[in-house]
Amino acid sequence: MTTARQAAVDILARSHSRAGFASELIDEQLNRAPLSGQDRRFVTQLVFGVLRRKGTLDALLRPFIRTPLHAVQDRVWDVLHLGAFQLTFLTHVPKHAAVHETVELAGHIGSPQAKGFLNGVLRRVAELVTDDFTDKPTADAVPFDWEAKKPNPPASFPKREGGERPGVRSPSPLGGGVGEGSASITPRYRKLTKPVLPDPAAEPDAYLAAAFSWPKWLANGWLDLFGADECTRLGFWFNSPPPLWIRTNKLRVDRETYRLQLAAGLIDAEPGEHPQSLRLLENHSIRDLPGYADGDFAVQDHSSMLVAAAIAPQPGMRILDLCAAPGGKTTHLAELMDNRGYITACDIDQKRLDTVMSLSQRLGIKGVEPVLLKENDDPPPGPFDAALVDVPCSNTGVLGRRPEVRWRLKPIEFEHLIRLQTKLLLQAVERVKPKGVVVYSTCSIEPDENERVVQGVRRAIKGLTLEAEHHSIPGRPSDGGYWARLRKL
């Protein structure tokens, strides 16, 4: 019988091959493994925790590995990460149990000879991690968790005159305090018996990378762009489980009625800014929520709900959804048109396009025509009343939800992404009628993928008006992202 730790280490192995995002791999594994509800939650906690904290776990492990690091097998590294995560970040798991149960995975991964090595390293990590906490970042304390106070957030990142978003520079060393325009947080750092992290005052970029588990290049860029305080807040946010948001299906039920249905089942939820949004205060199995099979709701982050609404779709409109999968924004457009519109839903992956249609069927959505685009295919010619271009992007606004992105993404990929984003936006503009609307969106917080792509297309196409744009800031209250509404004159 498969144990929770065995399932977790198998999922981690698959994640290295880019077989899918962690959430997809976890679902596949748990559908095959007969685990209890408690063990299923433990698997999810382990996998996401290791992927989010991998950089920090490496910093904790390296001082105790005497062999060349490249000589350690990948699957043995996975076991080390799994053990170090439990020892450092899971206070409900006794240290002796974390060490023993993790070392026993050596046989499961086909490396029984590694037991002694695993046991020696993990015992040293157990001795390194204390039960004491502080609220200050130091080289001998690991960021553990945080409590966010209710902020009064601006609608977007602060802007310079002319609309460009600046970095919010902090004159002080990295701290757990409040940067300009950021939410107040109360951080906890777990004390170590000796320093293993860079000095946050002397090497703020190296500290950010090791303490919050980011690639060094990303820490450098964000420190310049956002400043030290905001980077600290982002670090805690992206290393915490993201909240679960759902969008009530306005074709079937209004938000307050559905919230009361949840309350009747002892499920607490609070409304968000968008009139269809609800945030569940605890995690629940999606398929077990009331009305799932009847299509009363879809899972969608709050920031994503704002994108379809930016088009202001009306019944009878013909809309091009150029990058439709997995279908959250597609179906939202249909709901906003009261199921009386026509959506051409394009994607380059048949499996993901099938997901769009499955979601449409569950929600009772009509008028969605799926179109599979092969490489170098042009989108349908239209003309359309409006277009949504939710482009492939770096995903830097959703690193908590897709933690493996921080390790898969490379700086050289931005050039390719920006070319593709620009091409897709140009294609959408060409296919919209005069006076039609195009909404461009990403789940990125990088200016090069967001406002600068829009600025470049506006320079290339005269008579394209920027009517509105919005930056969703990670953690205030949900995922990070961007959208811009353009009008073709």
Predicted confidence (pLDDT) at residue 185 exceeds the cutoff of 80:
no
Q: Max Cα separation, the chain?
A: 70
Q: pLDDT (tens digit, 9 = 90+) per residue, 317-369?
A: 999 999 999 999 999 999 999 999 999 999 999 999 999 999 999 999 999 99
Residue-wise DSSP of 168-182: ---SSSS-SS--TT-
Q: Please give the pLDDT value at position 169.
A: 31
pLDDT band at 21 (very low <50, low <70, confident <90, very high): confident
CA–CA dist 44, 272 (Å, integer): 26
Predicted confidence (pLDDT) at residue 399 exceeds the cutoff of 50:
yes
Contact criterion met (CB below 8 Å) for 313 and 333: yes
The answer to which of 161-175, 283-297, 384-398 has the lowest mean pLDDT is 161-175
Q: Show the domains of the chain with their CATH numbers.
A: 4-131 (1.10.940.10), 135-238 (no CATH), 243-299 (3.30.70.1170), 306-488 (3.40.50.150)
Q: Which long-range contacts (CB under 8 A, 24 or more apart) does 112-116 make?
A: 114/73, 114/76, 114/79
Quick one: what percent of the chain has pLDDT higher than 70?
92
- The residues that are catalytic are 443
CA angle 431, 432, 437 (to 5 degrees): 145
Q: Please give the pLDDT value at position 149.
A: 57
- Which residue type is seen at 202? A
CA–CA dist 104, 126 (Å, integer): 16
Q: pLDDT (tens digit, 9 = 90+) per residue, 248-262?
A: 999 999 999 999 999
Residue 473 or 174, more confident: 473
Residue 414 or 1, more confident: 414
Q: Please give the pLDDT value at position 199.
A: 96
Predicted confidence (pLDDT) at residue 168 exceeds the cutoff of 90:
no
Predicted confidence (pLDDT) at residue 163 exceeds the cutoff of 60:
no
The highest-confidence range among 28-32, 348-352, 417-421, by mean pLDDT, is: 417-421
3-class DSSP assignment, residue 324: coil
The answer to which of 8-17, 241-250, 309-318, 360-369 has the lowest mean pLDDT is 8-17
Identify whether 326 is preceded by a cis peptide bond (ω within 30 of 0).
Answer: yes
CA–CA dist 363, 358 (Å, integer): 9
Q: Please give the pLDDT value at position 30.
A: 85
Nearest Cα to 185, choosing from 159, 222, 148?
Answer: 148
Parallel, antiparallel, or unpaired: how do β-strands 432-442 and 318-321 relate? Answer: unpaired
Which residues, other chains included, contact 251 with Cβ-Cβ below 8 Å and sequence gap of 6+? Answer: 295, 335, 338, 339, 363, 364, 365
Contact criterion met (CB below 8 Å) for 122 and 94: no
DSSP annotation of 72 reads S
Contact criterion met (CB below 8 Å) for 205 and 216: yes
CA–CA dist 319, 438 (Å, integer): 10
DSSP annotation of 144 reads E
Contact criterion met (CB below 8 Å) for 102 and 86: yes
Instruction: Give all strands of the β-sheet with 318-321 in edge-to-edge order.
Output: 368-372, 342-347, 318-321, 384-390, 432-442, 476-488, 464-473
Mean pLDDT of all residues in 207-225:
96
Mean pLDDT of all residues in 178-203:
81
Mean pLDDT of all residues in 445-459:
97
Identify whether 383 is preceded by a cis peptide bond (ω within 30 of 0).
Answer: yes
Nearest Cα to 295, choosing from 337, 242, 246, 346?
Answer: 246
Nearest Cα to 371, choosing from 336, 343, 393?
Answer: 343
CA–CA dist 238, 333 (Å, integer): 29
The secondary element (H helix, E strand) that includes residue 145 is strand 141-148
